[in-house]
Structure 1
């Protein structure tokens, strides 16, 4: 794909800060000294070519919904078959093959922890494989943004307001944002119409969720692999419990490190507790960032593993709202739909 300076600015500068106004692309156009029509055209092209996956939002884990990182050790000759079983589960939104005995990694999401547990149980039953359930303990950076200009200029994460009252409409709003909005002049009005609500009400609630840190970011969701960052690695470390916070916070300051969080270990199977993602254009570049990160975070003595991603099986927004089962006039179900409970079209 051929991208120019405007495309790169849209993808780099607007991953986290989509203006929360009725005509966000007009405001972006004003700041970039161009027209709203040109911005919309470019965004539509970026969506069509796969440079970005959607214009939408990410939800801070385990606030409006439940989630976990999980892995299975699939036999080498059954990787595609096992991946198909995993991806058939409603609620699996990310899945990758990585270089390790535990070779298929996926994120399971759902409206409740019981929903996520059911996903993992079905995968075990259908594949006969043990599933590692690596639950989030503490996030250091779960923004999911990625500085394409190499600056690593990630914003400090907002403190989460645990006192905010969460309603069913909030989950419907976040589900719609997770699925993505259209690149049109009035995207929030379209979203409101899908939910059967007023645009002003939707915009105000999105602002409240963003300010509370529940909505971790809203903007363009970039596909790193399509843009050349194909040497991506999940790096995992065994860190003494009393050092995890200091190491985690230090990792987030290292240029090239993106996601960073603490997860629950699995005794005698998977001892790693501190995770980070490093996105690179080459393996050498990624390993160089890792070396710098280990020094900067004072983790050189600690055991670690590097799991390069070799295939992306699935990458899409999380399941936040309750799946709705639609029925035909004869009363027979048509199958689960990733639902907006307040009405409107189903997700893609």
Structure 2
């Protein structure tokens, strides 16, 4: 079922996916900018959250700047899909898990405070399922913003500069973990966060601003759920692009309207030759294929070997695990 949005709901979800005001009462500022009271903004966001239209008001992060992550996949027999998905989904740090159309059919993202945690997660998947695991670490991001327009398809935001991980300070991981799980939807969310961490509100806001300016925090705002809002035909497209051509093709793919993510990942010799990835979110399979055709032309990839992996089910979608001992909270699934 697709949720119906009135114009004010639409404005909140479309216009505030990034740039949440970094001040003590951010929802009052949003209200002033959209012609609503603070209480109306809060009640609408609380209702949309309860209905599954949003997963959280919080942050997304530049991969492998605070913590570590990888994209992974297994080839589960059809009769074991639910069993294997459940085993993968219960592991701490697995924050996305999807069924896709491919022999490698269960795809998941493993996150953690460091690469050792990610490696341990993959080892547990192998041990508990008896299946081989494709480990596809990120090489180069072209767009990992994770936001998209609810209006007519538009190009992704311009890529941010390379993140400066050296800005990280003691205590930042706990702030980032809280943003990954989501801010409280209440009048003073940063005060609530500061109290929970035993820190000063102004200091917490200042650290969030610094992490955003440095590119570690790639987006702070409303994190929407695509399927609940009508984007139900979503595909991961993987391309077999020569290394020398990736710096040209990647940005061109990322700039195509309808392409919502784009990055280079490591190949696996003899098993997985695909190096360039993009996600397409669409309202129908025909719309997704049309976007793919435009993207291929824009990036000069019309003759490049590729595969299209449509998402069939989502088993898990949460924020990333960044701080050890604080797992991201569970939330409703939404296909990528």
1:89 counterpart (91, 100, 103)? 91
Task: Flag the 1:135–1:201 CA change in 2: closer, same or farther, 3 A.
Answer: same
TM-score scaled by length of structure 2 = 0.95
8 Å Cα contact 2:240/2:274 also seen in 1: yes
8 Å Cα contact 1:158/1:212 also seen in 2: no
Q: Distance in 2 between matches of 1:51 and 1:275?
A: 26
Q: Give secondary structure in 2 for the equivalent of 1:168.
A: coil
Q: Distance in 2 between matches of 1:19 and 1:39?
A: 14
Cα shift readout 1:166-222 (whole Å, capped 9, x = no counterpart): 223110000000000121110111111111101100000000000000000000000
1:338 counterpart (311, 323, 327)? 327
Gaps of 5+ in 2: 332-336
Q: Does 1:288 align with 2:285?
A: no
8 Å Cα contact 2:68/2:113 also seen in 1: yes
More moved, 180-189 vs 305-314 = 180-189
Residue 29 of structure 1 corresponds to: 31
Q: Distance in 2 between matches of 1:251 and 1:192?
A: 40
Residue 70 of structure 1 corresponds to: 72
Task: Flag the 1:173–1:142 CA change in 2: closer, same or farther, 3 A.
Answer: same
Q: Distance in 1 between matches of 2:165 and 2:99?
A: 38
Q: Give secondary structure in 2 for the equivalent of 1:2.
A: coil
Residue 59 of structure 2 corresponds to: 57
8 Å Cα contact 2:155/2:259 also seen in 1: no
Q: Distance in 1 between matches of 2:163 and 2:124?
A: 34
Q: Distance in 2 between matches of 1:300 and 1:205?
A: 45
Residue 250 of structure 1 corresponds to: 252
Q: Does 1:235 align with 2:231?
A: no
Q: By how many angstroms is 1:97 displaced?
A: 0.1
Q: Distance in 1 between matches of 2:99 and 2:327?
A: 25
Q: Distance in 2 between matches of 1:106 and 1:2?
A: 30
Q: By how many angstroms is 1:252 displaced?
A: 1.2
8 Å Cα contact 1:57/1:177 also seen in 2: yes
1:219 counterpart (221, 226, 229)? 221
Q: Distance in 1 between matches of 2:163 and 2:60?
A: 16
8 Å Cα contact 1:258/1:277 also seen in 2: yes
8 Å Cα contact 1:157/1:216 also seen in 2: no
Residue 200 of structure 2 corresponds to: 198
Moved over 6 A (4+): none
Q: Distance in 2 between matches of 1:98 and 1:153?
A: 25
Q: Give secondary structure in 1 for the equivalent of 2:32.
A: helix
Q: By how many angstroms is 1:16 displaced?
A: 1.1
Task: Flag the 1:152–1:203 CA change in 2: closer, same or farther, 3 A.
Answer: same
Q: By how many angstroms is 1:319 displaced?
A: 0.1
TM-score scaled by length of structure 1 = 0.92
8 Å Cα contact 1:59/1:217 also seen in 2: yes
Q: Give secondary structure in 1 for the equivalent of 2:66.
A: coil
Tell me which structure has the larger Cα radius of gyration.
Answer: 1
Q: Distance in 2 between matches of 1:295 and 1:2?
A: 34
Q: Give secondary structure in 2 for the equivalent of 1:164.
A: helix
More moved, 162-171 vs 111-120 = 162-171
Gaps of 5+ in 1: 324-336, 340-345
Q: Distance in 1 between matches of 2:16 and 2:156?
A: 12
